[in-house]
């Protein structure tokens, strides 16, 4: 497989969740990115699925950029073994840097923070601030409710079908990788996007 994607931002939980399939897919994500020479961009924590995907990438010989706000360095237990660690002053700066550094975005299982990151990058794409792939990796159906909420917004007249189509639900990270490699228009997300 020939890819033009150099880096993928993975949004996922600082907890592992109850289903072991979530952790297994996080391991596969890290291994797959490393095997294809794609840099992992993620939230910089050592806990939960975030830590699992980073550890798997590192073990497989891949490159990892972690981006974490100063106030979360102890709460999310900052990952000290990543290739590059960026400490920011705020959550907003963290997201801006993640968005700017990534060629594609994968949403793995997670909670409120993961939803926040997903909705912001989806909104920015809807507004034409970038044209990078956004893929929800729907491991074991964890994202069914998220997809249903987005579909309901279209049915209720609050979003267009075209905007809804900007987020693609896939069953696994292998499918996410194949769709991440498609060309995008090269629009760089400016740091002052808001």
CATH number for the domain harbouring residue 12: 3.40.50.450
Does residue 167 belong to any structural domain of this protein?
yes
- Cα dihedral value 53, 55, 56, 60, nearest 10: 140
Does residue 192 belong to any structural domain of this protein?
no
Sorted by sequence, the CB contacts under 8 Å of residue 83 that are 6+ apart come out as 39, 58, 63, 64, 65
Does residue 194 belong to any structural domain of this protein?
no
pTM of the complete model beyond 0.85: yes
Does residue 129 belong to any structural domain of this protein?
yes
pLDDT, block means (10 residues), the chain with 194 residues? 81 96 98 96 94 97 94 75 92 92 97 95 94 96 96 97 96 95 45 36
Lay out the sheet containing 7-11: strands in order across.
Answer: 84-88, 64-69, 39-42, 7-11, 104-107, 134-137, 167-170
Does residue 50 belong to any structural domain of this protein?
yes
Q: What was the pLDDT predicted at 182?
A: 53
Does residue 193 belong to any structural domain of this protein?
no
The residue segments making up the domain with residue 68 are 7-180
Total number of domains constituting the chain = 1
Taking CA atoms, 16 is separated from 48, 53, 188, in Å, by 5, 11, 32
Does residue 187 belong to any structural domain of this protein?
no
- Compute the distance between CA of residue 55 and CA of residue 93 in angstroms, rounded to an integer: 24
Contact 138, 167 (CB under 8 A): no
Contact 104, 121 (CB under 8 A): no
């Amino acid at each position: 497989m020939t890819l033009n994607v150099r880096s993928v931002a993975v949004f996922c939980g600082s907890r592992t969740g109850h289903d072991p399939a979530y952790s297994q897919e996080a391991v596969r994500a890290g291994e797959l990115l490393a095997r294809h020479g794609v840099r992992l961009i993620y939230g910089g924590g050592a806990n939960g699925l975030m830590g699992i995907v980073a550890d798997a990438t590192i073990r497989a010989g891949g490159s990892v950029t972690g981006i974490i706000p100063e106030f979360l360095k102890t709460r999310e237990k900052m990952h000290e073994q990543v290739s590059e660690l960026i400490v920011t002053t705020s959550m907003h700066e963290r997201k801006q840097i993640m968005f700017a550094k990534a060629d594609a975005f994968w949403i793995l299982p997670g909670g409120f923070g993961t939803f926040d990151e997903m909705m912001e990058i989806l909104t920015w794409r809807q507004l034409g601030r970038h044209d990078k792939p956004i893929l929800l990796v729907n491991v074991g159906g964890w994202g069914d409710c998220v997809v249903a909420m987005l579909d309901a917004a279209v049915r209720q007249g609050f979003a267009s079908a075209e905007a809804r189509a900007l987020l693609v639900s896939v069953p696994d990270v292998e499918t996410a990788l194949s769709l991440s490699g498609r060309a995008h228009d090269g629009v760089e997300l400016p740091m002052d996007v808001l």
